[in-house]
Amino acid sequence: MGIISRGFGGRRRDSAPDLPPGQYLTHDFPVLSAGPTPRVPLDRWRLTVATESGQKHTWDWSELLALPSEEITKDIHCVTKWSKLGTTWRGVSLDTLFEDVETAADYVMAHSYGGYTTNIPFEDLLDGKAWIAYEFDGEPLHPEHGGPARLLIPHLYFWKSAKWVNGLEMMLEDEPGFWEAAGYHMYGDPWSEQRYQGD
């Protein structure tokens, strides 16, 4: 229980049962990135899954679009405290991408154009929990929000949903990615408020 803040009532205008603790609702779509927005031409775009044995599976843009896609409506939660409910995306389930990938690794490092990385347990990418998303609200995903394609893992804080994703590297041991090495939590469950290491 915290200290009572004299005179603070809070507005609670937007309180909602779907909000994880410490989050507030936003209706716009904030942009958070560590550097300039990469602009990736579609004819040069690639996504590569690299297994621990060195095998590589690569899709170009037309190959990605040729895969079965899904419409996904989910809530998203940013570690900087905003949540956005009922966002709608279109993308390819990682179950589809991994159909022909043989791996025994338990962890994945996502890599992005621009150099960003983030680590995720492999099981958090499977069974309908994660997608490579390329549309938001029926429109091509804007570069500011990670277009042409980003990882979408709605059940974790949104820094795990790597923008401008171009690679998934299977890892036998967990390793910190970009923000995790700077003190953010290795897993990032919004419902347990796993914001920073030790949370």
List interacting residues with other proteins (CB under 8 A). 1-13, 22, 24, 26, 28, 30-38, 80-82, 114-115, 144, 178-179, 181-183, 196-199
Question: CB 43 → other proteins: shortest distance, Å?
Answer: 20
Q: Read off φ and ψ for residue 46, nearest 5 degrees.
A: -140, 150
Distance of CA 26 to the CA centre of its chain: 18
If the CB atoms of residues 79 and 130 are measured against other proteins, the closer one turns out to be 79
Least distance from other proteins to the Cβ atom of residue 191, Å: 15
Shortest spacing between CB 127 and other proteins, in angstroms: 31
Strand partners, 109: 119, 169
Which CB sits closer to other proteins, 35 or 54?
A: 35
Asked whether the beta carbons of 181 and 63 are under 8 A apart, the reply is no
User: Each residue of 117-129: b (16+ CB within 10 Å) or e?
Assistant: bbbbebebbeeeb
Decide whether 59 or 157 has the Cβ nearer to other proteins.
157
Distance in Å, CB of 150 to other proteins, minimum: 16
What does the alpha-carbon distance between residue 40 and residue 147 come to, in Å, rounded to a whole number?
8
Residue closer to other proteins (CB basis): 3 or 68: 3
CB 108, min distance to other proteins, A:
18
Token digits for 92? 């390819």
Residue length of the chain: 199
